[in-house]
Homo-oligomer: A and B are copies of this chain.
Amino acid sequence: MDIAKLGEFGLIDHLTKGHENKNASTVYGVGDDCAVMHYPDKEVLVTTDMLMEGVHFDLTYIDLQHLGYKSAMVNISDIFAMNGTPRQMVVSLALSKRFKVEDIDEFYKGLRMACDKWGVDIVGGDTTSSYTGLAISITCIGEANKEDIVYRSGAKETDLICVTGDLGGAYMGLQLLEREKAVYYGQVEDIRKKIAEAKRDGDTAKVSALNEELANMRNFQPDFAGKEYLLQRQLQPEARGDIIAKLREAGIRPTAMMDISDGLSSELMHICEQSHCGCRVYEKNIPIDYQTAVMAEEFNMNLTTCAMNGGEDYELLFTVPIGDHAKIEEMEGVKQIGYITQENLGKFLITRDGQEFELKAQGWNPLKD
């Protein structure tokens, strides 16, 4: 159905109908000039992210449901990264004419899956048109007790550096998707060339056969066998609220924390700079899934570089006092990768063969080519 037919308010009704707010802090959701919230005993956390078609996502390989899911998760991840609990979300979309109501439904399906997973209410937003691609802007609101909030600036000398899950997978997933996209367009291009030749030769039978072949390319099945995990890392990242809960249960309060969206190297530098300290991280301790390793091999890429600089894993990077070493050691899904030093000792990666390399932020720069 055409979105214009529903209109902005019809679309809002359509998207919100039948959805109840779940949080006591949500006083009033969609339908007025503002959403209203109530946070008498907590600090309010606010984070925002903007995702642009062609820059942050490519609709040739992410469907709208996954895109909705991911858009919500990356914002939810920022609330967890402050040791908070996500509660509300406002969602703005700018849509070009090619989108139908059914497309927005798909997007919202994914969005709601992510929000339902973490108990987040969608309380407002803005829906408008765009002359070009799809633009998504999400603001997520959360809460935390004042004393629980973890900033990037609290790391202290001797603190242990920890990461959750494994790294580099989302980046390898992207490489894989880009490769299959290139394969697909390569094959389409080949068929088109053959059609041109057949036309020149006046071979109408061949032209029609090739046109059929071209039409069948719609059913193109990329070769993802054995690589499902990498796709999932790229297309369906998970915010690590599970680890936040585990840390709380274990009585561990990180001294500094952030989520890994631009790459471990870049995020480590943020923590060190804001905490005025240095660090030593060990290559051998960086958690990497075997599929990531296999794929790096296949692409002839340096695995550690992928894990250090590949973005979008949305794992947590945090530091804890050295006294928590034993507790962290037995915690599933968390790996100790190094320790915090005095600032004047610099920021270094220690390779397997004992060499020291100064950390550089080669993370994704969204403002560069």
Write the chain B residue with the least CB distance to A93. Answer: B50
Bound complex: CA of A43 vs CA of B8, how far in Å? Answer: 27
Contacts of A92 in B (CB 8 A): 48-50, 137
Partner of A44, one of B6, B36, B146: B36
Q: How many residues of chain A are within 8 Å of chain B by beta carbon?
A: 74
Stretch from A78-86, A196-204, A246-254 that touches the partner = A78-86
Partner of A7, one of B123, B131, B149, B367: B367
Stretch from A27-35, A59-67, A171-179 that touches the partner = A27-35
Docked-complex contact A259 and B33, CB < 8 angstroms: yes
Docked-complex contact A84 and B34, CB < 8 angstroms: yes
Partner of A368, one of B4, B44, B146, B368: B4
Contacts of A351 in B (CB 8 A): none
Q: Is A187's beta carbon under 8 Å from chain B?
A: no
Write the chain B residue with the least CB distance to A256. Answer: B32
Q: A3-B367, A4-B369, A43-B27 are in contact. Are A132 and B131 (CB under 8 A)?
A: yes
Partner of A52, one of B40, B78, B94, B257: B94
The A1-60 residues at the B interface (CB cut-off 8 A) are 3-4, 6-8, 11, 27-28, 31-41, 43-50, 52-56
Q: Is A258's beta carbon under 8 Å from chain B?
A: yes
Bound complex: CA of A151 vs CA of B274, how far in Å? Answer: 42
Contacts of A90 in B (CB 8 A): 46-48, 139
Docked-complex contact A34 and B79, CB < 8 angstroms: yes
Q: Which of A8, A37, A43, A50: most chain B Cβ within 10 A?
A: A50
Docked-complex contact B137 and A48, CB < 8 angstroms: yes
Q: Is A304's beta carbon under 8 Å from chain B?
A: no
Q: List 6 A-B contacts (CB under 8 A).
A: A33-B257, A34-B82, A35-B46, A48-B124, A52-B135, A131-B132
Could you tell me which A residues sit within 8 Å of B by CB distance?
3-4, 6-8, 11, 27-28, 31-41, 43-50, 52-56, 78-79, 81-82, 84, 88, 90, 92-95, 123-133, 135, 137, 139, 141-142, 144, 146, 149, 151-153, 257-259, 274, 365-369
